[in-house]
Chains A and B, each alone.
Chain A
Amino acid sequence: MRLHEYQAKQVFADAGIPVPDSRLATTVEEVVEAVSEIGFPAAIKAQVHVGGRGKAGGIKIATDEEEARQYADEILGMDLKGYTVEKVLVESGVDFENELYVGITMDRGEGEPVAMVSTEGGVDIESVAEETPDAIAREHIDPAFGLHPYQARKVVYDAGIPRDVAGDVASILSTLYDLYESKDASEIEINPVMITADREVVAADAVMNIDEDALFRQPDLAEMEDEAAADELEAKANEYGFDYVRLSGNVGIIGNGAGLVMTTLDLVDYYGGEPANFLDIGGGAKAERVANALDMVFSDENVDAVVFNIFGGITRGDEVAKGINEALEQFDEIPKKVVVRLAGTNAEEGMEILNTDLVEVEATLEDAVQQAVENAQEAGQ
């Protein structure tokens, strides 16, 4: 779960990391009021989960009230790569001399966190990593001990951070690790850390991703998740407790187990269709959960046909079949054609129960997907 910039900056500020003075605004008038308080220049920054906001026109610097009004009007309500901007962060412009990068992420290969510091801040750090890997200093962190103070200093000096601010940057890094650990972050990053003309360090941006598996012990952050939910259907999936990802195609996909659902998506693509979503109903799903899954996929207006693919281990084919029947029997007319393939535990019982007036049944994964792709092509015409 990714926090918005304004949320992450609040977390940083609470921990003592210097951030620019800022206000959150949802209307043009609120933006005008905010700039009157914090002064000019002021940055107006769209709060959406989209990379490259600046290039896409989601960040503008206003030098007077008229500009602030104009930019607020432009940015609020604008569509940024499919996300509507509903909030902007109005932030005091920082007059800076240098931009640095400071971040901590999980190194999956090593199974431990790694701290990264670079003087090449303000640009995409992944492209720095690719083009000039030596420009990033790295230090692995033993999760049993945390980041030792000497390690924070070491990685800062290794990166060649100017000596007069090295102590401040090391201190920010130590605080970031405390947050990384205490808030169960999977990634935490400041890009850029700005060095001002007065040689002060300020966190000009803030990235914080939280491990979704740890939200049960991060109630404050879990509350932010609802605010951060972007898509109506994704919010609904949260409610039902499904792993769900919305895509842009027209073949709705329901299955059990992440790998098999991904494979079903891939096969839809392989047979010339376009997947509309990833929906994993999880293991051991009962009839109601099955009905909820169908409801989810039917509510997506892009979906023209559905494939339901279950390989039962702990999930039982008869339960799934019952759920499909119950969900579909309430319709006078089935909204979208559904192809079902059941295999594994109690699959035969399931096949007998399935009402074949309501669904098409296929014996193999490949056949089921091809049939659904055909159905979608016909319905889409």
Chain B
Amino acid sequence: MSIFVDDDTRVVVQGITGGEGKFHTEQMIEYGTNVVAGAVPGKGGQSVAGVPVYDTVDQAVEAEDADASVVFVPPAFAGDAVFEALDTDLDLVVAITEGIPTQDMAKVNKRLSETDTRLIGPNCPGIITPGEAKLGILPGNIFESGDVGLVSRSGTLTYQVVSNLTERDIGQTTAIGIGGDPIIGTSFVDALEAFEADTETKAVVMCGEIGGEDEEQAAKYIAENMDTPVAGFIAGRTAPPGKRMGHAGAIVSGSGTGTAESKIDALNDAGVPVGDTPNEVADYIEDFL
């Protein structure tokens, strides 16, 4: 089992003719993902990596029966691209793009709340169900099919933790990068809820970072609703207040909210052990299984 994507997922790639879009479409296909179409305005009729390109998402969905999209559109146009995807009633939209203006995302978020579509990201590496499908830029070779779910705000930190798991032959059901922006679609709580409902996920890793209060809310959700054990990691213990640490969302406010300490305390209070190193997280997971 898995959450959100599997080998039945039919994908349209928005921005498939761009450098990143093309490269990662090839990678996704090589991994076994059903990429059925691309959508780029003005490029309808072309073909990229053997995939037909349409001018609009609507046409692509109509012609190829897609149910998910991956967005590789540059930041200035990505908000519009996500709107386009939301207006075609897809089940899932994965926005990889980093650097979408926050106010564009606020508008997207509003529209999102009126639809049944799931948005993952933006500013995320995507989602992978090992051995079945990946939607995004995650390096497929470090993953292994298994029974641990993983949800993270960061891409490369996910790779680090996954490799610590895979090294010990601990595989994953699904891994989701939810993104490092202040306003994102799928939250920790949404992902945890899905992992809790998934009978094959036996333990969950949750990698958070400074900024916002999503991790605190997740801790509350875990304490009240989860039987599946969770181990955590929080990046940014040494981050100074008021400085954006790479991710637009990774910032401790001047008044001291959004700190690593607050998140670690909240998780510990919810019974979630938090590793001091990524490897320690893998230790906790090994103990759970």
Contact = CB atoms under 8 A, between A and B. Distances in A.
Given A259-B154, A259-B207, A265-B239, A144 B139 contact: no
Interface centre among A263, A267, A345 (most CB of B within 10 A): A263
B246 A258 contact: yes
Contacts of B137: 283, 313-314
B103 A259 contact: no
A214 to B, nearest CB: 4
Interface stretch (A18-26, A66-74, A108-116, A299-307): A108-116
A266 B213 contact: no
Interface majority SS (helix, strand, loop, mixed), chain B: loop
B238 A259 contact: no
Interface string A108-150: 1101110000000000101101100000000000111000000
Given A108-B183, A111-B183, A143-B107, A259 B277 contact: no
Contacts of A331: none
Contacts, number: 179
Contacts of A37: none
B142 A344 contact: yes
Interface residues of B, number: 64
Contacts of A366: 277, 279
Given A108-B183, A126-B255, A258 B250 contact: yes
Interface string B256-280: 0000100000000000000011110
Given A313-B138, A313-B139, A263 B160 contact: yes
Contacts of B245: 243, 245, 258, 261-262, 278
A278 B246 contact: yes
B281 to A, nearest CB: 11
Contact of A109 (B23, B160, B213): B213
A79 interface: no
Interface size class of A (residues with CB under 8 A): 35 or more
B76 A259 contact: no
Given A213-B100, A213-B101, A262 B246 contact: yes
Contact of B110 (A124, A144, A184): A144
A64 interface: no
B277 A270 contact: yes
A211 interface: yes
B278 A265 contact: no
A213 B152 contact: no
Contacts of A213: 75, 99-102, 248
A258 B153 CA distance: 10
Nearest to A263: B235
Contact of A245 (B156, B157, B240): B240
A212 interface: yes
Given A213-B99, A259-B247, A311 B109 contact: no
Contacts of A143: 103, 106-107, 109-110
Per CB-CB distance, the 6 closest pairs between chain A and chain B, nearest first, are A259-B154, A258-B246, A257-B156, A259-B157, A126-B255, A214-B101
Given A263-B235, A278-B245, A366-B279, 8 more contacts: A127-B255, A129-B255, A143-B106, A143-B109, A181-B103, A266-B236, A283-B155, A343-B163
17 contacts: A51-B242, A111-B110, A126-B255, A143-B106, A143-B109, A184-B101, A247-B240, A257-B246, A258-B154, A259-B152, A259-B153, A262-B209, A262-B245, A265-B236, A344-B142, A345-B139, A365-B278
